[in-house]
Amino acid sequence: MSDKWQMLTLIGKDAPGIVAAVTSALADSGVSLGETSMLRLGGNFTVMMMVSGGADEARLRELLGPVIEARGMCLHVDPIDAHLHEHLVPNVQVTVSGADRVGIVAQVTAALAEGGFNILDLDSDVAGSADEPVYILLITGIATEPVEAIERRLEPLRADGVSVNVTPIETYIG
Amino acid sequence: MAILEILKVPDPRLKQVSEPVSEFDDVLQAFIDDLEEARQDGPAAVGIAAPQVGMFKRIVIIDCSGTRKPVPNHGHLILVNPEITHWEGYEPGREGCLSVPDYTGNVIRATHIKLSALDRHGEPLEFEMEGYEARAAQHEIDHLDGMLFIDRVVSRRTDLFQRKVYQKGGKRKKG
């Protein structure tokens, strides 16, 4: 398998069958997938996929053209320097929730960054209702300082009425 | 002797159901020593199950005494023909496996279990386990039934946080 990877980003209105249509078009032409992540964000289909197999951007656009046009989707392709089998294992999870307002993610991640925290995974969502939206943020990553130190960094958010949980992740290997 | 080789996915033998141990002879003792050696050789391995080295007998070893933060545990355990007799509670937690290199994921396991087993000489054992150690026992016993953690892995996005919140809410209602 070629080690040349492209990062393919595809967004559009969500509907059943998009992943099947896209990946079939790729597979039929020998394009191989690496790590991928599909999420539904605000009713939109979004996917990022590492693809390899010798196809450049022009070729990928040609292969996916019919699917993209039929569904009115946006495609973005970037050559990337990427490698498989380099997973990092998180050791801390941070969960945050509170009344939605501007700046929760910025405040949390700035405090984490000050402590050298390496975010591996971040998901955030707006729950609650239109009248009372609640922001929920879930972060996993690698901390180099103790959980108590991270708690102290996030203390100002608590004073602000935001709920913060910092939990060590002890990965079981067996 | 050479360290036993760990079977890795997609080796179909990992799906095989293991047989109970009936003979507690010298062959078994030697095998258990070799299994322990393989466990200690595995990078960061806390537990191991016999089928992971191609021996389809119901034997597992776990040792949860070495976590970064101490957790409730019964030390180094050799469990022969282990059986979980009681399950309670559930929570997601991160797992990896010697047989599944370079992948970790969240798996929902019972938080409290009761377990009966035999020791390496065939004497009966009973344990109540919680949290990380209960997870270890469930992960290893799964191997004896041909199950891997990747058969049980859950989405990081939907399960991890929401279930915890739900559990807390449930507890409050009861109290």
- Which of the pair, B170 or B54, is modelled with greater confidence? B54
pLDDT tens, residue by residue, A66-95: 999 999 999 999 999 999 998 999 999 999
Alpha-carbon gap, residue B36 to B47, rounded angstroms? 9
Q: Would an 8 Å CB–CB cutoff place B91 in contact with chain A?
A: no
Alpha-carbon gap, residue A4 to A51, rounded angstroms? 8
- Residues of chain B in contact with residue A121, where contact means CB-CB under 8 angstroms, are 156
Instruction: Return the CATH number of A5-80, one of 3.30.70.260, 3.90.1150.10, 3.40.309.10, 3.40.50.700.
Output: 3.30.70.260
Checking if the pLDDT of A59 tops 80, the result is yes
In a mutational test of the B interface, the residue from A134, A139, A163, A173 whose CB has the highest number of chain B CBs within 10 Å is: A173
Class level of CATH domain B12-167: alpha beta
- What is the pLDDT averaged over residues B137-145? 98
Give the residue extent of every domain in chain A.
5-80, 92-168
- A86 → chain B, closest CA residue: B102
Q: Any idea which fold A92-168 has?
A: Alpha-Beta Plaits (3.30.70)
Catalytic residues of B: 140
Checking if the pLDDT of A118 tops 60, the result is yes
pLDDT tens, residue by residue, A100-111: 999 999 999 999
For residue B155, what pLDDT is reported? 77
Element (H, E) at B80: strand B76-88
Q: Would an 8 Å CB–CB cutoff place A140 in contact with chain B?
A: yes
pTM of the model: 0.87
For residue B43, what pLDDT is reported? 82
* Interface predicted TM-score (ipTM): 0.86
- Residues of chain A in contact with residue B139, where contact means CB-CB under 8 angstroms, are 172, 174
pLDDT tens, residue by residue, A119-163: 999 999 999 999 999 999 999 999 999 999 999 999 999 988 899
Alpha-carbon gap, residue B58 to B16, rounded angstroms? 11
Extended beta strands in A43-158, E state: 44-52, 74-80, 92-99, 118-128, 133-142
> What residue has token string 């007998």?
B57
pLDDT tens, residue by residue, B35-82: 999 999 988 899 999 999 999 999 999 999 999 889 999 999 999 999
Q: Would an 8 Å CB–CB cutoff place B160 in contact with chain A?
A: yes
For residue B157, what pLDDT is reported? 63
A87 vs B46, B103, B139: nearest CB: B103
Give the residue extent of every domain in chain B.
12-167
Instruction: Report percent pLDDT > 70 for chain B.
Output: 88
Checking if the pLDDT of A3 tops 60, the result is yes
Checking if the pLDDT of B172 tops 50, the result is no
Q: What are phi and psi of B83, to 5 degrees?
A: -140, 130
Element (H, E) at B153: strand B153-154
Question: Considering chain B, what is the average pLDDT of its residues?
Answer: 90
Q: Are B94 and B139 in contact (CB under 8 A)?
A: no
